[in-house]
Structure 1
């Protein structure tokens, strides 16, 4: 599985930060983050709400564009080591300059420079999806949407929303999504995780997104499953994340196989891999063990992901070419 070329579409940039990287930064800034780590040095949390708190605490030590350049290099090096040939990461201007467009441009320039270096060194292609943080509220979401609209181009190709899915309704954020759509950005949002199937209906109806982050609880509504299949909306599924956060007891209980069998477009990603003690190779291994999927299944999943990627036709052709290797 390690050598199989892979596409990853659902990865939070700060959430992919290796624990050692965050500990070093905390030490440099004399910030006590001891409560964020367990005895073995990994991230420590109990439940989804605590996970969000630990995530934001870890992110708080990323203070400068240079910090994000170093983070980008580390994240993309890890992805390349797992066989990822194309990756999209969620980037939040709320964390990169406080939502100010000028500051965001500085952060983005540093991130893109590091991504170009990673492409030259590892051959990995990268694109960014700007995200609003849902529990910061609809008014605040307008700021990252503007940042995305002002920097849309070769590297920033999408807009989405993460955060606490139980806060508010998807439609509360329609203004931010409309602004991003008008700027030509592709759209995704987290739904169908802790918000249940109704949050997926809201995402389709009120935000008209191209993809759904997670979306797995759509399985609880047969009509919704049929709707997703009919619309050919792609789900960014992160099985290990769902299991780690207690949504399902193990991989075998996860609905990814049933959704796929029902004709829903499925992709596989890691979400916040070091937090959930996973990586893309492990995800593939666990799916193979749980559902009997073989190399042909994973190649098909990656072709689906390539088609769903928020990129231009030239980049998509490059991804497909990379997927053909080995």
Structure 2
């Protein structure tokens, strides 16, 4: 597919190629027993196991240099898929334990690695981890506030959506908003439509990570469409984790038809055996998406990106059909 792609929902650690993590483990003599299948892929059977394997894999990422190398590996994968702009979720909890000084070193390593790949633009969304609790989230928000700028442009929340409520984290989101950061949060992946309502009402985010369970509440769908709240949809992830049984039952096309702005991302692609090109191929196969729809979805992503006006104009220009 020749259409340039824009990805808004990508976890930097979750995008790590398994071979990269195995290589680091070997270098450091770290035992990652139980993390990989015999074929070398990540090993898990449900969402909670996925979180455990994810965090175990992160144990070999122990310094700024590791995250610089990781950024290079992830962005090279994205470039192969025709991605020209990506936003990656970056967690200070995995990068220095939430200490601002340590976080700066990790951030600079990732920013420098990204700058060496001119084929792609990268921005960082600092992400607190929901199941680490509201107090720990405040340390992530402080890191976000102190490093907001050209590279760090957003703040969000990932992790176990069933822990607490969105509103429990309002203090951290208010801090990030006051620092000029754009806001998103995971909702409506596991927590139902109510979790999306909480995100919109209590955190006042402009984008929702996943958000697909909004389809179960027609009033919520209308609200998202009316206020043009963008969903960062990751269909392959949702099917792989069992949020939906198969691609045909996934609601992305129904949401789009109702006027909800949707984008397409891979979430944690090696975990879910997917790529962004494969996502679009399957959307074409199951829902008849052709070039016009794919281009329109990427224009939506460009307009929703947490970037400066000059970068957005550049992305929109790249998405114009060849004359």
The answer to whether the superposition gives a TM-score over 0.5 is: yes
Matched, 1:317 2:313: yes
**Deviation string for 1:184-235 (max 9, x for gaps)?**
0000000001111000000001000010000000000000000100110000
Aligned-partner Cα distance in 2 for 1:97–1:224? 38
Structure 1 window deviating more from structure 2 (150-159 vs 24-33): it is 24-33
Deviation at 1:181, TM superposition (A): 0.2
Aligned-partner Cα distance in 1 for 2:262–2:198? 20
Aligned-partner Cα distance in 1 for 2:319–2:164? 39
- Match of 2:21? 22
- Match of 1:193? 189
- Match of 1:247? 243
- Match of 1:7? 6
Deviation at 1:320, TM superposition (A): 1.2
**Deviation string for 1:105-152 (max 9, x for gaps)?**
000111000000012xxx101100000000000000000101011011
Extract unaligned runs of 5+ from structure 2. Answer: none
Deviation at 1:324, TM superposition (A): 2.7
- Match of 1:211? 207
**Deviation string for 1:146-192 (max 9, x for gaps)?**
10110111100000000000000000000000000000000000000
The number of aligned residues is: 322
Aligned-partner Cα distance in 1 for 2:321–2:66? 34
- Match of 2:171? 175
Aligned-partner Cα distance in 1 for 2:190–2:62? 30
Aligned residues of 1:188 and 1:209 also touching (Cα < 8 A): yes
- Match of 1:258? 254
| SS in structure 1 at match of 2:270 | coil
Alignment of 1:2-151 (within 5 A): 3-119=2-118, 123-151=119-147
Aligned residues of 1:166 and 1:195 also touching (Cα < 8 A): yes
RMSD over aligned CA atoms reads 0.8
Aligned-partner Cα distance in 1 for 2:34–2:3? 37
What is the TM-score when the length of structure 1 is the normalising length? Answer: 0.98
Deviation at 1:250, TM superposition (A): 1.2
Deviation at 1:325, TM superposition (A): 6.4
Deviation at 1:64, TM superposition (A): 0.6
| SS in structure 2 at match of 1:129 | strand
**Deviation string for 1:298-325 (max 9, x for gaps)?**
0000000000000110110111122236
Aligned-partner Cα distance in 2 for 1:109–1:99? 15
| SS in structure 1 at match of 2:68 | helix
Aligned-partner Cα distance in 2 for 1:315–1:147? 24
What is the TM-score when the length of structure 2 is the normalising length? Answer: 0.99
Aligned-partner Cα distance in 2 for 1:226–1:16? 33
| SS in structure 1 at match of 2:232 | strand
| SS in structure 2 at match of 1:190 | strand
